[in-house]
Every structure is written in C-alpha cells, then in structure tokens.
Amino acid sequence: MKVALITGVTGQDGAYLAEFLLKKGYFVHGLKRRSSSFNTDRIDHLYQDQHEQNVRFKLHYGDLTDSTNLIRIIQEIQPDEIYNLAAMSHVHVSFEMPEYTANADGIGTLRLLEAVRILGLTQKTRVYQASTSELYGLVQAVPQSETTPFYPRSPYAVAKMYAYWITVNYREAYHMFACNGILFNHESPLRGETFVTRKITRAAAKIALGLQKCLYLGNLSAQRDWGHAKDYIEAMWLILQQDKPEDFVIATGITTTVRDFVRMSFAELGIDVEFSGKDENEKGVIIGLNEELLIQHGLNSDKLFLGSTIVQVDPKYFRPTEVDLLLGDPAKAKTQLGWEPKYDLSALVKDMVISDLHLMKKDEYLKKGGFKTLNYFE
C-alpha cells in the first residue's frame, strides 16, 4: 500500500486530495495544526476511528514552522509521497503577516525537504510542492507557461518563489523526485470564505434570500484563470506518477474578471446585475429578475428590487501591489500528463452558488427553528 503525507490536509485542496488518494487505495497521513476549536470540517467525512481495523487515514499534529516535529512524523510514517499544501495562502493577508508567511511558506518547504534528506529518504519519498501562478505577478507575457519569467508581487508570492527554487535545487542537488505544480486559481464549495470567488457566491446566496443587502469588494477588474479544485488535485497526483520529476503549469487557459464572476454568480440565481461607474465608485445594480430561475431555486423576488445596488467597491480590499492578469497555458500538462479538466467556469460557478444557497437556507432554517440563538455570554 502506498503511503502519502499531506500537509495542509484541513484546507480546500488537502480535503479533496485526501479523499482522492483514499479512493486510490493509499494510506493517507495528514498534518493538522493544533487549534482551540475543531478545524477539521472539510475532512470530517473521512475520519476513521483509530480503534477500528484497516484504518487508512490518520491525522498528526504538526506545523511547517517546527522542523523537529516534521522530522519525527516523516521518520515514523516513511511516506512514498509528500504533498506540501500547507501555507498561509491568502495574498492580501500576507502583506499584514510577511514574516510569518516567509517562515511557513518559504522556509517551511525547506524544512520538509531537509527532513526527507536528513532521514535518508531522498530516493524513496517523492515531494509535490504547491507552487502558484502568483509567481508570475507583474505581467511579463501571456499566456503564462513553465518558461515565463517570474515577478512576484506580494510577500506570499516572494515566499512561494523561495519554495519553488528550493524544490528545484533539491531535485538537482540530491536527485530527489521533487516537483512544482504551478497551479492557477482553483475554487470549489470548500474554498475559504475570504477568497474572492467564495465571498461572491456566499453573498449572492444571502442577497437572493434577503439576508444581506450589499457585497463589498476590491479590484473588480482583476483577471484570473479559475478552475475547479477537484480537477487540480488530480493533476498533483499525476505529477508525482511520472517517470521523471518536472514542473507543470495547471490552468484552464481562460481568464475572467472578478466583475464577470459576480455577474455569473448572480445570474445563476436569476438576478441580472449591471455595473456602472469607475474604480472606487463602481457599483453593481439589479437590472432584471428571472422569475422562472428564482422559483426553480426556491427563491422569491419580494426582497429584490430593480435598481437596487447590491455590489459596491470598498478600497480597503485593494492590495498594495496587485496581480492584474493571470492566464495559464496548460499545454505541457495536457500532453505529458494527459490532464484534462472536467469543469469549465460556468460549471464551477454553478457548483459553488448552489452549494452556498443550500448552506444559507440551512442556516436560516436552523435560526428560525431557534437552534442558532445560544449566547454563551448572557
């Protein structure tokens, strides 16, 4: 049985990857951080009681900032494959926490590679490094491929740049099977709530249900190449199954503005939005309601009015330095890995919007039933 270690197993990608590898028959170990409350929501469905027989999923407390902890865990489990997904992954937050981001995302990767080397596992353990399209930063050329120069634009991207090169260096210096997946943005119903797509789909659901009035966003003109996380974790696995260790761009080859993602999300629920104004003064207003679609989703138009502003720009979400345009060229992955995404953008939007609508309806139902009113401080 193949043994895998996933760092960042409690995150969006970690959860999908753990499920994927378990289905493939792996023994999956996950590294999770200690937290004062449960932080395993995304993987609770995979939990196995460690007293049962044939357990194939095990969590270990750990942190990428703690090398002795990493060495102990890797020594204990002797993994065939390590997927290094753990990171402080929020670009905007990295401007607030640059030092921690460098430590976890940059040096954290070094700690992991060193652990493999110190333990004499360089010829046994294959390592996948979660690299990112943020490395391209300030546009040098489009579409961006494995040979496009990097120009990182945030403390996050600079830290990931170190991680990218230290992975290449360990591959060349110690003949390790260590690879970078340069993944463009990938989203899903499990996406963290403060990333722009999930923030939009949650707000669209709430606004459609009359639970929120307006969605405040930053740069609406940023363009991203958005894919579905389910497709992208398959590429991670494929990268480690090759004969030779190499780096791959994983993307859809299509780019869309944040503004269009907003339009598509609301339209999915039957709300047509039009934008007007510029920069800080840009607004999104309801210009049409599709009664048929609203009814189909169990919504009614009572609280939705033509002409009402449901999207506004708040400059607090602007970044000190922005990445304006990301558009990936997945040609190498398609030819060499045989990788082909199953979701296009509209299928992704639909998956996220419908999931958030269910979530908000459930929340509302519980509140109305009196199950969400406990106040521990009264």
Distance of CA 324 to the CA centre of its chain: 19
Residues in 302-331 that interact with ligand NDP by CB under 6 A:
none
Give yes or no for a contact between 289 and 271, defined as CB atoms under 8 angstroms apart: yes
65 binds, among ligand GDR, ligand NDP, none (CB under 5 to 8 A by kind): ligand NDP
Q: Enumerate residues 6+ apart whose C-beta is below 8 A from 57.
A: 18, 22, 27, 28, 30, 46, 47, 48
Check binding of 255 to ligand GDR (CB under 6 A): no
Residues in 88-147 that interact with ligand NDP by CB under 6 A:
88-89, 104, 130, 132
Q: Cβ atoms within 10 A of the Cβ of 326, count?
A: 23
Nearest alpha carbon to residue 241 among 337, 360, 113: 337
- Contacting residue, 132, 256, 265, 355, with ligand GDR by CB under 6 A: 132
Spatial distance between the Cα atoms of 195 and 260, rounded to a whole number of angstroms: 16
Among all residues, which ones are annotated catalytic?
132, 134, 156
Radius of gyration over alpha carbons of the chain, in Å? 22
Residue 90 phi, psi dihedral angles, 5° rounding: -95, 115
The Cα-based distances of 166 to 27, 90, 155, 254 in angstroms read 27, 21, 17, 30
Spatial distance between the Cα atoms of 272 and 266, rounded to a whole number of angstroms: 6
Check binding of 157 to ligand NDP (CB under 6 A): no
Spatial distance between the Cα atoms of 177 and 360, rounded to a whole number of angstroms: 44
- Contacting residue, 13, 19, 80, 134, with ligand GDR by CB under 6 A: 134
Residues in 166-185 that interact with ligand NDP by CB under 6 A:
183, 185
39 binds, among ligand GDR, ligand NDP, none (CB under 5 to 8 A by kind): ligand NDP
- Contacting residue, 91, 161, 203, 264, with ligand GDR by CB under 6 A: 91
x/- site string to ligand GDR, residues 161 to 200, per CB under 6 A?
Answer: -----------------------xx--------xxxx-x-
Q: How far is the CB of 139 from ligand GDR (least distance, A)?
A: 13
Check binding of 11 to ligand NDP (CB under 6 A): yes
Q: How far is the CB of 149 from ligand GDR (least distance, A)?
A: 17
Check binding of 364 to ligand NDP (CB under 6 A): no
Check binding of 218 to ligand GDR (CB under 6 A): yes
159 binds, among ligand NDP, ligand GDR, none (CB under 5 to 8 A by kind): none
**Residue 36, CB half-sphere, CA atoms under 13 Å: how many?**
0
Spatial distance between the Cα atoms of 6 and 30, rounded to a whole number of angstroms: 5
Spatial distance between the Cα atoms of 329 and 184, rounded to a whole number of angstroms: 10
246 binds, among ligand NDP, ligand GDR, none (CB under 5 to 8 A by kind): none
Where do contacts with ligand GDR occur on this chain (CB under 6 A)? Answer: 89, 91-92, 132-134, 184-185, 194-197, 199, 217-219, 222, 224, 258, 317, 319, 322-323
Where do contacts with ligand NDP occur on this chain (CB under 6 A)? Answer: 7-8, 10-14, 31, 33, 35, 39, 63-65, 85-89, 104, 130, 132, 183, 185-186, 192
